[in-house]
């Protein structure tokens, strides 16, 4: 049973528009959430994180929102750029401090 779910395998967005990637989780004990970005033939790289005591964290064009009551987090990219085309993974830290990963969403930015 997947504790972290990314229900959209892919997402296509026009360059310059907002990209919104979603992630749902089931374990209310998760206390730290992260987004990683992965290009083909490379390992994932850390993008942005949020603690469960916050509901928003912003870093440049990237903002992560956390809705604990809905067990939902989202990553907003504004404005979207061609270099943002990648696979995005959502991950959550459990009580043993191990990361539980979603299946990933492939973001395609169209020119």
Partner 1 sequence: EAQVTQNPRYLITVTGKKLTVTCSQNMNHEYMSWYRQDPGLGLRQIYYSMNVEVTDKGDVPEGYKVSRKEKRNFPLILESPSPNQTSLYFCASSFGPFTGELFFGEGSRLTVL
Q: Which residues bind partner 1 (CB under 8 A)?
A: 2, 4, 6, 9, 32, 34, 36, 41-46, 49, 89, 91, 93, 97-99, 101-104
CB of 4 to partner 1, least distance (A): 8
79 vs 94, which CB is nearer to partner 1?
94
41 vs 53, which CB is nearer to partner 1?
41
CB of 104 to partner 1, least distance (A): 6
Q: Max Cα separation, the chain?
A: 43
1 vs 111, which CB is nearer to partner 1?
1
Structure tokens belonging to residue 45: 């790289």
């Amino acid at each position: 049973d997947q504790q972290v779910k990314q229900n959209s395998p892919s997402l296509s967005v026009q360059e310059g528009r907002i990209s919104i990637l979603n992630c749902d989780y089931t374990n209310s004990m998760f206390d730290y959430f992260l987004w990683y970005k992965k290009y083909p033939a490379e390992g994932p790289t850390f993008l942005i994180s949020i603690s469960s005591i916050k509901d928003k964290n912003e870093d440049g064009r990237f903002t992560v929102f956390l809705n604990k009551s809905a067990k939902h987090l989202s990553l907003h990219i504004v404005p979207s750029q061609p270099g943002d085309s990648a696979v995005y993974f959502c991950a959550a830290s459990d009580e043993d401090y191990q990361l539980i990963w979603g299946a990933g969403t492939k973001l395609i930015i169209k020119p």
